[in-house]
Each structure stands twice: as structure tokens, then as C-alpha cells.
Structure 1
């Protein structure tokens, strides 16, 4: 009989705990990152993101937890884990006193590559990261974006299949940030797994296949970006009218009649009216609710000139989950 057991994730953690003194930085978190995907860990300063990266990359020992990286047990075979991963930390590992090429060759020496092989890989990566023209200049003369590209290129010298990126675009301008995003996407298209921590919510939204929000050492919620956005209120369907008579008719209908789905009802009949001849109907943006709204509009004879669906963004999710709200939201698993 053929086995149906699923393969181990590239990164797996169950019950990960770490404390300093009497304060738990990580309080029993569970994570699972499939191969060839981008996982993003979000959280405010001090939430434990960097500690999680340090533990999973063997730099710090966990207090407890069943941890596997690249199929290797972190507790019993950390050396095998180190041979599988690459780490780009918050602060650049680039030596500014030597050239970009010399930084690359130094990394090749640390990986015990032959001189010929080291030069070949260094040349390929400098070309891949658009650093050929600057390769013979001191790294101290590089811009912030160039230093981050060189830092990531150095991480790739050992051809890791799992890469930890701890806030890799902090301080970069928007153009440099988008360049880094393209590089990360290209890595994943080659089968590399990326564990990304970031405070840029747009970055997680753009890149991540799966996101976990870390707050006070616990996972507040996790899921895809779209799943997380549906956790918070504020989504709505907006109807815009160009005919004042049609607008007034629709506004009156929405005031007087409850909408068909309980989630869509409000004290004002289910819609919010603004000064731009538009109506906003609460909705979580799901296909089911949108169909319900459209069916009701048809039955009421309401025809809008424009209909748009608005859902909360990751900013809304982040603030809702990390602001100590009275009613914590249930995590998506």
C-alpha cells in the first residue's frame, strides 16, 4: 500500500517557548512552513520575531518545543540545520572596508569552497544582484539598497534551500524595496523556502503565502492575507450613483428594509450614506455575502452606476490584533 503521509514542512515548530528571566518572549507558538513558500511573521517591536529567527537558525537555544528545519531536529542535529539554511539579519553582515567581490570571496572561503568554485559563484551572484559594476569598490561606498543586495548575495553563496530574512528591507527606499521583493520572488520560484519577518505590512501582503501575527509572545492569528483581512470588521460594498433620484430611492430603500443576511444589518437599515451619492453596505467581501447583496438589490430594483468591494487591509488586521482589543479574534489554522 502506498504511504499517504505528508512530507515534513521546511520549517516546523510545536510549543516553541523562550523566556528571559520571568518574561516569556515566545510562549508556546506553533508554526508550519511548507517547502517553496514565503512565510511572514508580523508583530510590533518586542513581539519576539527576531528571537524566533535566532532560535530556528540555531543562534539561540529554545527553552522548549519540537523544532525541525529542513527535516532535521534542531535539538539533536543543529549542524545539519546550519548546512541547510542561510540568514540575512536586521543588520548588514557586509564588511565596508573591503570590496563587494572580496566580501563574496570571504563568504566562499567560510563555506570551504575551492578558489575556482568560489570565484565562479561570486561572479554569478554579483551579476544576478546587479552588482558587477560596483564589485571592485569598497562596500562602504554602497547605497543602502546595494548593501542589502550584497548581504543577501553573500547569504546565497552556500546555496541554502531555506532562508531567514529578518526585516531585510528596513530603511530602504520604495524602489530598493521593490527590487528586493523581486529577488525574493525569484528565489522562491527556484524552490527556496523563505521565512520573512517584517514591520512593513504591504511587504507581507505582497510576498507571503502565509502570515502569522505575533503579539506578546503568542500567535494572535495566522492564515493567508485574505483570510486575515476577513477577521476584522470594516469591509463593505460601496454603491455609487450619478442620478440624484436613483440615489435617494436607494437610500430610502436601504433605510427602511433590513438586508437579507444578519451580518449586514445595522441601526440605519444596513447602509451608511455619505455626501458623494454613494451608499456603503457592511460586508466581509465573501462571494456568499456579495451574491446575497446583489440578489437583494435586484429584488429592490436598485441599479447603481458603480459597485466596488472594499475589505480591510493588513494595517487594520495588525492594529486589531496587537492593540489589546477586548475581544481577541480566533486564529485561522
Structure 2
């Protein structure tokens, strides 16, 4: 039996004549942190939007927790947590009130609410700030509160869309620590998008590099660095073929042409 919680097969999304995601295929294994790495406009957020059943694919298929994102959208949404790129907290409410609003909207029994709110606040290190108004929070604290909100319903899979965008380096590393804890201590499967190379390298078990709506490379950080890393040097020569042949024999040269 497959240990993959997400299976993506030839998934595409078109907006008119523009293809935002073009025939993407990959799987995400249970308990791993899987990264979608690429520049702005590469198609990462559109891909995530399909996987969380907010946008319907134009073609191809994706299963999340065994549910088809196109035909079982409600089941998909009820089985995942997600932190969007854009902030979605009510700044005039306290952290506790933001979390309480979420559990009430999603129908959590009243007898379970207080304990679960306390638990997710502890997971992200905000147990001492639950009664503080969100507008007094730093960017990192707000992001941690959004992660806490996404954990309220015991989901197996968490989607993080650019989780540290706009945060300072120190705060980014704090968020990384909490993501690692979610995997290590709670066994969560996490899919994150990022355009930060260091973030993908630090957090992810495997990375899909996305560019122009396609997955152009897929593997562990070390495997991708070994495959794709290095400098490109352009040399002019009167006998290019001979020089390329000679350079290709050097152990420090990966490719010469």
C-alpha cells in the first residue's frame, strides 16, 4: 500500500490562453516536508490552490488524503490545514478570540474548544499571549497564530503558502523551528511553497523546483544541489570543440559544450 498522502498526475490549470500550471506530476509521502520552490509567478500558489480544492484543475488529477480535488472538494478541505500567503487574522480580536471564532465556525463541540485552543497555542509558543490583541503582535507571532489556527482540527496534512514571506531573518528561523516541531513531534505531512533557497534547503525532505508552471527538477536538497549546483563559465576559443573535450575530462567540470 502506498504511503503517499498526495498524488498529483499531469495536473494543469489554464486561465484563458495562459497556462499557469502545465502537466505537473509528483507525490507527497506521509510524514515528509515537501517544498515547492520557485520564483514569483512560477505557478506555486495556483498549484497549491488546486491541491486545497479552491481552484478546479483544467486537466489531470490530484488526490489529497484519498479525495479527488475536483470531485470531492469538501472532503479535501475538511481533511487539511492551510496557512495562506496573505494574512487573514482579525487584528482587533485577541489571539484566543481568533481561534474561538474558527472552532465555532467549523462546529467543534463546545466541550473540546478550550483544551484544543490551549494545545495549539502551546505548540507554536503563544500560550502566554492568548489574551493579547493581535494588532500588538509582531509579524512572526501573527504567522505562528495562523499556523495554530490551521492545527485546530487534527489534520494530517498542512499546506503553508510562503510561510515566512516578509519576515526578518531571525523571525523566519523561529517559524522554521515550529515547522520542524510539527513534523517531529506531531508526525504531520507538510507542503510548503517558497522562493527562498535557504528555506527549502533547511526544512524540506524533498523539493520540486517549479518554473513556468512546470516541475523542472525533483529530489532531496542534497541531490538537487549535486545535480544543479555549481558555476557556469563562458569561454571564447578559436577551437571550441577541442576545448570542450579537454575541459570535460576534468573532475571539477560537470558539463562542457
Using the size of structure 1 for normalisation, the TM-score is: 0.69
CA apart distance, 1:265: 5.7
The residue that corresponds to 1:288 in the other structure is none
Spell out, residue by residue over 1:115-168, the C-alpha distance to the aligned partner (whole angstroms, 9 max, x if none): 231111111222222223322121011000000000100110111110110000
Number of aligned positions between the proteins: 242
Asked whether 1:282 is paired with 2:243, we answer no
Contact kept in structure 1, 2:35 and 2:191, CA below 8 Å: yes
SS in 2 for 1:53: helix
Asked whether 1:169 is paired with 2:125, we answer no
CA apart distance, 1:65: 1.0
The residue that corresponds to 2:21 in the other structure is 26
Residue 14 of structure 1 is aligned with which of 9, 17, 24?
9
Mapping of residues 42-53 of structure 1, within 5 Å: 42-53=37-48
Asked whether 1:102 is paired with 2:97, we answer yes
The residue that corresponds to 2:237 in the other structure is none
Asked whether 1:62 is paired with 2:57, we answer yes
CA apart distance, 1:31: 1.5
> Cα gap change, 1:122/1:233 in structure 2, threshold over 3 Å: closer, same or farther?
closer
Using the size of structure 2 for normalisation, the TM-score is: 0.88
The residue that corresponds to 1:121 in the other structure is 116
> Cα gap change, 1:264/1:96 in structure 2, threshold over 3 Å: closer, same or farther?
farther
Asked whether 1:229 is paired with 2:225, we answer yes
Asked whether 1:91 is paired with 2:72, we answer no
Q: Distance in 2 between matches of 1:184 and 1:234?
A: 29
Structure 2 residue runs without a partner (length 5+):
232-243
Structure 1 residue runs without a partner (length 5+):
1-5, 236-262, 271-280, 285-326, 328-333
The residue that corresponds to 2:235 in the other structure is none
Spell out, residue by residue over 1:288-308, the C-alpha distance to the aligned partner (whole angstroms, 9 max, x if none): xxxxxxxxxxxxxxxxxxxxx
Mapping of residues 1-333 of structure 1, within 5 Å: 6-7=1-2, 9-189=4-184, 190-232=186-228, 234=230, 266=247, 270=250, 282=252
Spell out, residue by residue over 1:32-79, the C-alpha distance to the aligned partner (whole angstroms, 9 max, x if none): 100110110011111100001111001111111121001112222222
Q: Distance in 1 between matches of 2:110 and 2:245?
A: 67
Q: Distance in 1 between matches of 2:229 and 2:52?
A: 37
Contact kept in structure 1, 2:5 and 2:64, CA below 8 Å: yes
CA apart distance, 1:283: 6.0
CA apart distance, 1:204: 0.4
SS in 2 for 1:170: coil
CA apart distance, 1:233: 5.6
